[in-house]
């Protein structure tokens, strides 16, 4: 069911709506002509005072929605009425150290279980019917800086996870478990020199010791694969992006620092690395490489290529052969990229401009020479996912235009403490926009259209066969635009910034759209000069569900494209988990 999630429009059981992460739906009842009739069906409040960034992806199965929230919480909600069926709230210990807000991005369904990760780096498997704990296991020790915020993935009948914690020197690792029991099957560290475990219990080293890390820097090398992965059932390959090397001060770790800031293809049976592609060697700017690798087939030159695409934090859009890792295309997807002129297609390496912060050891002070570089470390695109439309063959990318001043500082590793060795300030580049939704052709790298937004875009994208692109804004709107032109067709004000992940499905003959609303994430924490632009956005925690009913409203029941102004006669069913 998970491998073929795209084929059944009455459910959403795979993160990204299929293992390839297309975030596309073949539904077309809701389309350019009818989206103006999209109406709130109900809304569910997460309640309490824990109203921080809500970045969850909702799963839908047998009329039940499973949604996670900030501070490691989960709910099961009746998809027809919004009634809470059960709630689980993880008991978090003192001293958790999440880098970039207390978010949770979703869960995984498997048989009669729903499984998610927690801020203290644990996995919890709950009974889908009751919410009771069936098993619990630790990914790593939170006291060493480890945490977990991604949605687990089911691939090859295994539960696949990464980890967070690169800013604390925590070593990135991809793990595979039996989803029924939590028992470890294999584990693969992503920094060379560390030992992984195979299914037979034997150990193998990742890479070659000291090949691209000097001395003992590899021991605290970071590289956290903190966003999750994608899966090709035919090739039986799992694809994961890896995070920044630690510390940020690259002068303390000469070399390419494999396999940080890279994309890895792993054998799903063993966890062994089949191929890798490093987007930012010897990363000086915290550009990570965790962005999702979206798998698709590309027709080019009369042949079908098993391709994959990635919009990297470093500002470049890459197309690779997903069988071999061969680089096929690399083009900018943001206007301002100043750390590199481009990507050498022969070597796959960036053509750097020399905009690296100075070595603090070369100065008399406590910091090296600063540089101004674009994009900022929050990236041309951060965690929020792009979408691939099978209808248009285009990718829809939630991008951001900003720059940063960055400098290096001396740093010494201490277990459980921040391990940066850098300072920074993020700055807007334009007066009228930071976020830009862009439609990009993966065959040519050309931008087909773009829609600017005053504040950063931090939600994921959904596309449909109805010619629609859904996305959210910090200003509180869920929006739908035309997939061929970017023209705005509908919007709804949710009351808090939308940094969640929209999904769609059908139920009882009606098409539904859901998204979580609740401002937060990394921008208000790390935004520098951008932060004042979002200072007054209200925090929140709400699951909004909209539908396109079989019996559509009469003419005049709506005012323009703003769905939040629906006439009361058609909004009677809107409730906070209750019937009015």
Quick one: the chain helix, strand, coil %, rounded to 5? Answer: 5, 35, 55
Q: What is the pLDDT of residues 102-130, one digit of tens each?
A: 999 999 999 999 999 999 999 999 999 99
Q: What is the pLDDT of residues 169-214, one digit of tens each?
A: 999 999 999 999 999 999 999 999 999 999 999 999 999 999 999 9
Distance from C-alpha of 212 to C-alpha of 221, rounded to nearest angstrom? 11
The average pLDDT across 4-32 equals 95
Q: What are the tokens at 489?
A: 């067709």
Measure the CA–CA gap between 292 and 16, rounded to whole angstroms: 10
Average pLDDT, integer, range 307-323: 98
pLDDT digits (tens, 9 = 90+) for 534-572: 888 988 999 999 998 777 655 444 434 455 444 333 333
Mean pLDDT calculated for residue range 518-538: 87
**Which class for 405: exposed (0-12), middle (13-18), buried (19 or more C-beta within 10 A)?**
middle
3-state SS assignment for residue 552: coil
pLDDT at position 494 is 97
286 a catalytic residue: yes
For residues 112 and 56, give the distance between their C-alpha atoms in angstroms, rounded to a whole number: 21
The pLDDT confidence band at residue 512, using thresholds 50, 70 and 90, is very high
pLDDT surpasses 80 at 80? yes
DSSP one-letter string for 477-535: EEEEEETTT--EEEEEE-SS---SB-EEEEETTEEEEEEEE---SSHHHH-GGGGGGGT
- pLDDT attached to residue 552: 60
Residue 562's φ and ψ, nearest 5 degrees, are: -85, 100
**Is residue 40 within a helix (H) or strand (E), and if so which, with residue range?**
strand 39-45
- Contacts of residue 108, defined as CB under 8 A and 6 or more positions apart, other chains included, come to 15, 114, 115, 116, 151, 152, 153, 154, 159, 179
SS3 250: helix
Q: Is 554 exposed, middle or buried (0-12, 13-18, 19+ CB in 10 A)?
A: exposed
Q: What is the spatial distance between Cα 104 and Cα 92, in angstroms, rounded to a whole number?
A: 13
User: Which CATH code of 1.10.8.420, 3.40.50.800, 2.140.10.10, 3.30.420.40 fits the domain covering 5-570?
Assistant: 2.140.10.10
Pairing, β 350-352 against β 371-373: unpaired
Instruction: Name 242's Cβ contacts closer than 8 Å, sequence gap at least 6.
Output: 172, 190, 223, 224, 225, 259, 260, 261, 262, 263, 264, 288, 289, 290
Smallest CA-to-CA distance from 475 within 490, 448, 494, 460 is with: 494
pLDDT at 562: 56
Q: What was the pLDDT predicted at 538?
A: 87
Q: How far apart are the first and last CA of the chain?
A: 36
Q: Return the SS3 of 229.
A: strand
* pLDDT score at 557: 45
Domain parsing of the chain, residue ranges: 5-570
Between CA 207 and CA 144 the distance in angstroms is: 24
The rounded distance, in Å, linking the Cα atoms of 59 and 298 is 28
User: Pairing between strand 273-278 and 294-300?
Assistant: unpaired
Kindly name the residue from 120, 256, 286, 312 that is annotated as catalytic. Answer: 286
**172: its two tokens:** 């990135």
Measuring CA to CA, which residue among 98, 37, 43 is closest to residue 70?
Answer: 98
How far apart CA 116 and CA 130 sit, in angstroms, is: 15
Q: What local confidence, expressed as pLDDT, does residue 574 receive?
A: 37
pLDDT tens profile 235-280: 999 999 999 999 999 999 999 999 999 999 999 999 999 999 999 9
pLDDT reported for residue 529: 87
pLDDT higher than threshold 80 for residue 429? yes
């Amino acid at each position: 069911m998970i491998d073929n999630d795209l084929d059944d429009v009455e459910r959403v059981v795979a993160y990204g709506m299929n293992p390839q992460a297309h975030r596309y739906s073949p539904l077309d009842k809701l389309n350019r002509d009818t989206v103006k009739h999209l109406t709130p069906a109900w809304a569910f409040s997460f309640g309490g005072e824990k109203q921080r960034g809500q970045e969850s992806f909702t799963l839908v199965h047998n009329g039940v929605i499973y949604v996670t929230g900030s501070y490691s919480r989960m709910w099961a909600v009746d998809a027809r009425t919004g009634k809470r069926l059960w709630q689980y709230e993880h008991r978090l210990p003192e001293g958790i150290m999440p880098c970039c807000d207390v978010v949770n991005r979703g869960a995984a369904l498997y048989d009669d279980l729903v499984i998610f990760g927690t801020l203290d780096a644990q996995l919890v498997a709950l009974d889908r019917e009751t919410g009771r704990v069936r098993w619990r296991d630790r990914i790593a020790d939170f006291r060493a800086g480890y945490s977990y915020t991604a949605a687990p993935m089911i691939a090859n009948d295994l539960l696949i996870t990464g980890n967070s914690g690169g800013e604390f020197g925590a070593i990135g690792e991809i793990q595979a478990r039996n989803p029924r029991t939590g028992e470890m099957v294999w584990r693969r560290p992503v920094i060379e020199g560390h030992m992984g475990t195979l299914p037979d219990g034997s150990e193998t080293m990742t890479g070659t010791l000291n090949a691209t890390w000097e001395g003992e820097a590899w021991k605290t090398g970071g590289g956290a694969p903190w966003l999750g992965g994608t899966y090709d059932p035919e090739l039986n390959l799992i694809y994961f992006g890896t995070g920044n090397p630690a510390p940020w001060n690259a002068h303390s770790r000469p070399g390419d620092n494999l396999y940080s800031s890279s994309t890895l293809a792993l054998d799903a049976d063993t966890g062994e690395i089949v191929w890798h592609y490093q987007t930012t060697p010897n990363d000086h700017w915290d550009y990570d490489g965790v962005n999702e690798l979206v798998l698709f087939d590309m027709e080019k030159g009369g042949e079908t290529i098993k391709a994959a695409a990635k919009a990297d934090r470093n500002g470049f859009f890459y197309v690779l052969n997903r069988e071999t890792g061969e680089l096929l295309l690399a083009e900018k997807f943001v206007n301002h990229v100043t750390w590199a002129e481009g990507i050498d297609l022969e070597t796959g390496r960036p053509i750097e401009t020399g905009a690296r912060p100075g070595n603090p050891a070369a100065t008399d002070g406590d910091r090296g020479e600063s540089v101004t570089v674009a994009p900022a470390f929050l990236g041309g695109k951060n965690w929020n996912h792009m979408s691939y439309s099978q209808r248009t063959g285009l990718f829809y990318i939630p991008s951001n235009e900003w720059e940063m001043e960055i400098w290096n500082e001396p740093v010494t590793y201490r277990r459980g403490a921040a391990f940066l060795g850098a300072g920074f300030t993020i700055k807007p580049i334009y007066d009228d926009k930071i976020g830009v939704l862009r439609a990009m052709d993966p065959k040519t790298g050309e931008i087909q259209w773009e829609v600017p937004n005053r504040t950063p875009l931090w939600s994921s994208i959904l596309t449909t066969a109805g010619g629609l692109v859904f996305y959210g804004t910090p200003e509180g709107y869920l929006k739908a635009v035309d997939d061929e032109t970017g023209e705005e067709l509908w919007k709804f004000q949710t009351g808090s910034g939308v940094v969640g992940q929209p999904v769609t499905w059908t139920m009882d003959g009606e098409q539904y759209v859901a998204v979580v609303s609740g401002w937060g994430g990394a921008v208000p924490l790390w935004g520098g000069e951008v932060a004042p632009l979002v200072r007054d956005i209200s925090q929140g925690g709400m699951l909004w569900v909209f539908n396109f009913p079989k019996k559509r409203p009469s003419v005049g029941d709506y005012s323009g494209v703003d769905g939040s102004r629906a006439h009361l006669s058609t909004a009677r069913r809107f409730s906070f988990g209750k019937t009015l």
